[in-house]
Each structure stands twice: as C-alpha cells, then as structure tokens.
Amino acid sequence: MDAKTLRAKSPTALVAQMEETYARLKELRFKRSSNQLKDVREVRELKRDVARIKTLLAQSSQEGTNKAV
C-alpha cells in the first residue's frame, strides 16, 4: 500500500489497517515456516506497510501535540 492512500485515512482506520496487516503477516510467517509460502516477498512488503503506518501514526500524534503548544 502506498503512502498517499494511507495519509488519506484517519488514525483509527490506520490502527485497524495495522491490525489486519499484522494478522496477515502472522499467517504468512506460519506458511513460510512450513514451506507452503510461494511468494516470500509479500512478507517484506507487509513489514514495510506496518512501518509506513507506524510512521504516519507517529507523525499525526506529533502534529496533535504541536498544535496544543
């Protein structure tokens, strides 16, 4: 998922997206450990998506604290 679509989402939607991504990542890790995973690159892409979401959440929380000051 690209950063533009993630930026358009609200923080609560980002948290929900992150939970879904973690669930999918867990599923893929189990498949990889049992040699059933065909596309191993998907694990890397999901980890990057989680990092993007965490970054956007941190930025939005920083913007909120900066506005209050």
Question: What confidence tens digit (pLDDT) does each residue in 13-65 have?
Answer: 999 999 999 999 999 999 999 999 999 999 999 999 999 999 999 998 888 77
Is 51 part of a structural domain of the chain? yes
Is 4 part of a structural domain of the chain? no
- Residues 6 or more apart from 68 whose CB is under 8 A from it? none
Q: What pLDDT is attached to residue 68?
A: 56
Which among 8, 27, 22 has a CA at the least distance from the CA of 50?
22
Is 38 part of a structural domain of the chain? yes
Return the exposure string of 15-51: e unless at least 16 CB atoms fall within 10 Å of the residue's CB, then b.
eebbeebeeebeebeebeeeeebeeeeebeebeebee
| Number of structural domains in the chain | 1
Q: Which domain holds residue 34?
A: 10-63
pTM equals: 0.84
Q: What pLDDT is attached to residue 69?
A: 52
Is 3 part of a structural domain of the chain? no
Is 69 part of a structural domain of the chain? no
Is 2 part of a structural domain of the chain? no
